[in-house]
């Protein structure tokens, strides 16, 4: 049964704006995530191996957000809110609970801008509110000349291979559905993009695969693409590094030594790998005339 929890805070203020997603704040209506992606960085003993089973709802989120945004708005501390950074705001349960929707109503009331990060077409339900936010939000002063939207909607895709996506993101909608949803959002006038994160070494990072990922983002009318490498944390049973290696051993055992030499003892692949990925993405974005960043 889905658990309800009371939290002490719902609006997290970052020390510094995120360079990629441009968020100054984040709001996570749920704790855990039923999409259950194997590579998910939030994984760990708190959520267990099956995050769909340990999912909980932050029942006092609307009341807290109201208080926290009211205070920030009074001081003029406007900033983009990431919805969400460590859960999916549009899991199937949201259809019934409408918690994300309630939070968007509050965000609209206090005129804060948002960046919706999702893998789900359920975001389409809330385009009415997001359109109002897009028009009426107050952007932070330093972004006013660079960004003309109060709402950004981006969709994360780690692979276009449907079979691989089903194994790695067992609860999430298919990548093609995410692309189609993005195109619908674009038609409605939103600033939209693909978060090509995490790119999976040896599984979705060949030149052809990267080319295809950026080409298809352009075809489905993304304004921008963000490309980022896989990160693997922890050694405990429910950590993403442990689960990801289990997945490799089961489906691609020949890749295990390659991953070990790429990651060594670190949570990120080598600097050279990251630089190469960044350079390739930049070139591909130029080729397809698509932005390699939101602004």
- Residues in touch with ligand SF4 (CB under 6 A): 33, 35-37, 40, 42, 87-88, 119, 169, 172
Contact between residue 51 and residue 45 where contact means Cβ atoms under 8 Å apart = no
CA dihedral 216, 220, 221, 225 (to 10 degrees): -40
The minimum distance between CB 201 and ligand SF4, in angstroms, equals 17
Of 11 and 55, CB closest to ligand SF4: 55
The minimum distance between CB 278 and ligand SF4, in angstroms, equals 21
Of 172 and 262, CB closest to ligand SF4: 172
Q: What residues contact 11, with CB distance under 8 A and at least 6 apart?
A: 25, 26, 27, 64, 65, 68, 69, 72, 81
Of 139 and 232, CB closest to ligand SF4: 232
Of 50 and 270, CB closest to ligand SF4: 50
Of 49 and 276, CB closest to ligand SF4: 49
The minimum distance between CB 85 and ligand SF4, in angstroms, equals 8
Residue 87 CA to residue 277 CA, distance in Å, equals 26
- Measured N-to-C along each axis, helices 207-219 and 271-287 cross at an angle, to the nearest 10 degrees, of 40
The minimum distance between CB 124 and ligand SF4, in angstroms, equals 17
The minimum distance between CB 42 and ligand SF4, in angstroms, equals 6
The region, left, alpha or beta by phi > 0 then psi within -120 to 50, assigned to residue 238 is alpha
Q: What are phi and psi of 156, to 5 degrees?
A: -95, 140
Encoded tokens for 293: 């960043």
Which helix H or strand E contains 7, and what residues bound it?
none
Of 22 and 165, CB closest to ligand SF4: 165
The minimum distance between CB 226 and ligand SF4, in angstroms, equals 14
């Amino acid at each position: 049964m889905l658990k309800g929890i009371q939290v002490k805070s719902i609006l997290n203020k970052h020390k510094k704006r995120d360079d990629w997603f441009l968020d100054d704040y984040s709001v996570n209506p749920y704790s855990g995530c039923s999409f259950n992606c194997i590579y998910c960085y939030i994984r760990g003993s708190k959520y267990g191996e099956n995050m769909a089973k340990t999912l909980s709802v932050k029942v006092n989120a609307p009341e807290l957000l109201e208080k926290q945004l009211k205070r920030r708005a009074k001081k003029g501390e406007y900033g983009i809110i990431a919805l969400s950074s460590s859960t999916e705001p549009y899991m199937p349960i949201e259809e019934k609970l409408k918690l994300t929707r309630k939070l968007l109503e509050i965000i609209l009331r206090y005129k804060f801008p948002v960046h919706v990060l999702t893998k789900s077409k359920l975001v389409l339900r809330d385009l009415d509110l997001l359109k109002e936010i897009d028009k009426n939000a107050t952007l932070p002063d330093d972004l006013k000349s660079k960004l003309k939207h109060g709402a950004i909607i981006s969709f994360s895709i780690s692979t276009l291979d449907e079979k691989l996506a089903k194994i790695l993101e067992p609860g999430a909608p298919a990548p093609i559905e995410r692309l189609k949803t993005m195109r619908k959002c674009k038609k409605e006038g939103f600033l939209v993009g693909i978060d090509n994160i995490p790119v999976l070494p040896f599984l979705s990072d060949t030149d052809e695969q990267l080319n295809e990922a950026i080409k298809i983002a352009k075809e489905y009318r993304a304004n921008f693409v963000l490309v980022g490498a896989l990160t693997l944390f922890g050694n405990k049973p429910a950590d993403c590094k442990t689960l990801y290696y289990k997945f490799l051993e089961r489906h691609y055992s020949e890749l295990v030594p390659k991953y070990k030499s790429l990651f060594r003892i670190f949570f990120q692949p080598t600097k050279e790998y990251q630089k190469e990925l960044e350079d390739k993405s930049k070139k591909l974005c130029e080729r397809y005339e698509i932005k390699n960043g939101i602004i």
